[in-house]
Amino acid sequence: MRQQVCLITGGCGFVGRHLVARLAARHRNLFIVDDLSTGQHPALWLRGYVRSQHSDLEVFTNGDTTIQFLKTDAIDFFWRELRGERILAADAVPEVYHLASIVGGRSVIDGDPLLVATDLAIDALFFRWAAKHRDRIGRILYASSSAAYPIGLQQSVGLEGSIALREDMISFQENIGKPDMTYGWSKLTGEYLATLAAERYGMKVACVRPFSGYGEDQDLSYPVPAIAYRAAGREMPLTVWGTGKQARDFVYIDDCIDAMLLTLEKVTDARGINIGSGRLTSFIEVAQMFARLEGYETPVKPLIDAPVGVQSRYCDPTLVHALGWRATTSLEDGFSKVLEMAHRRRAATAA
Ligand SMILES: NC(=O)c1ccc[n+]([C@@H]2O[C@H](COP(=O)([O-])OP(=O)(O)OC[C@H]3O[C@@H](n4cnc5c(N)ncnc54)[C@H](O)[C@@H]3O)[C@@H](O)[C@H]2O)c1
């Protein structure tokens, strides 16, 4: 029988953990490559699996699904495979989800751009590996980002004058605008490599551009869980980075995964697809919403010296809607879940 395995790089990260949970219900064999630089070991989040060790591979099985986990740098993994080692022992790889990336939130993106530029190396090797193995790979999902959009389009403060980012505002046929730091450059370049993989190598590739994904188990270095954590402690005044007028398009993680899976199913030519609500929400509004959900009144205090990124980043969701996706979790419901988790995190720290 042909051995089939789906590969997920960066599968132990915030998005990866949610994705793996979904994929485990659809596939019998998954293979995760993650160096755990920011990710969490699968033993911490895979529930109901029995773990065993086979050389440097950890194997988790629940009777229905087997998940192999290799703790390694994706760069090493793809180099070793390119040099002829067969680490991913499978005749067919029906789906590949390439999420491994140094992300790290605004302080890393602005504070250590040459570290983040490592993403260029990860993606270059990934696509070279994919091209070499194209005969056994079915479909690829490349996790790009809204950071690939030109920052020049995202400088208006407030809704008035701001621009809903549309997929065709990135075009490899025309002049390319400057993306957001090395993180944005790597995603933009990754999308270009994805286009080459589709056009020149005949591969089926989908690129997604998530806006600000958030959820309960997101790291506290990201703004939504961080503000929730402070609100859960009834911080007064409640602080936000920058003026707080900078605004984003927030999308709940389950909705984000739905959109990723749908895009992989429906798009094969590597065109980028936005994943966002189309709604612009400022960080002041985020803080006010958490204070309201927590049930206390507080002024919101800007931390002017903190890094903020662009002023307004939100999407035109027309294309993802046309694929059949709608966000099903309102900001209110999603933030309530994050706040509940913030209380649990506080209780765990206090214990
Ligand atoms: N979360 C969002 O809202 C969002 C938005 C836009 C794009 N994305 C993209 O989605 C993907 C996942 O993002 P996330 O929010 O889960 O980030 P994350 O930091 O939680 O996950 C990234 C994972 O990649 C792993 N990793 C990093 N460098 C690696 C390397 N060299 N080798 C192997 N593993 C490595 C980390 O350990 C981590 O588990 C990323 O590509 C990111 O750019 C996410």
How many angstroms is it from 180 CA to the middle of ligand 1?
A: 16
Asked if residue 215 has pLDDT above 90, the reply is yes
How many angstroms is it from 299 CA to the middle of ligand 1?
A: 34
Closest CA to 206 of 162, 167, 262, 281: 262
Ligand 1 and 272: CB distance under 6 A: no
What's the whole-number mean pLDDT along residues 328-349? 97
Asked if residue 161 has pLDDT above 90, the reply is no
Ligand 1 and 75: CB distance under 6 A: yes
Ligand 1 and 11: CB distance under 6 A: no
**Average pLDDT score over the chain:** 96
Nearest CA to ligand 1 atom 8: 145
Among 98-112, 126-140, 246-260, the minimum mean pLDDT is found in 98-112
Ligand 1 and 148: CB distance under 6 A: no
Asked if residue 262 has pLDDT above 70, the reply is yes
Q: How confident is the model at residue 199 (pLDDT cuts 50, 70, 90)?
A: very high
pLDDT of residue 283: 96
What's the whole-number mean pLDDT along residues 149-178? 92
pLDDT of residue 174: 85
Point out the ligand 1 atom lying closest to the alpha carbon of residue 118.
31
CA distance 176 to 226: 34
What's the whole-number mean pLDDT along residues 325-340? 98
Q: How confident is the model at residue 1 (pLDDT cuts 50, 70, 90)?
A: low
CA distance 75 to 125: 7
- Are 283 and 345 a contacting pair, CB within 8 Å? no
Ligand 1 and 184: CB distance under 6 A: no
What's the whole-number mean pLDDT along residues 313-340? 98
Ligand 1 and 110: CB distance under 6 A: no
Closest CA to 169 of 29, 85, 271, 37: 271
Nearest CA to ligand 1 atom 22: 13
CA distance 284 to 306: 14
Summarised one tens digit per residue, pLDDT across range 9-39 is: 999 999 999 999 999 999 999 999 999 999 9
Ligand 1 and 122: CB distance under 6 A: yes
3-class state of residue 334 by DSSP: helix
Asked if residue 306 has pLDDT above 90, the reply is no
pLDDT of residue 308: 83
Asked if residue 2 has pLDDT above 80, the reply is no
Close Cβ partners of 297 (under 8 Å, ≥ 6 residues apart): 291
Summarised one tens digit per residue, pLDDT across range 234-252 is: 999 999 999 999 999 999 9
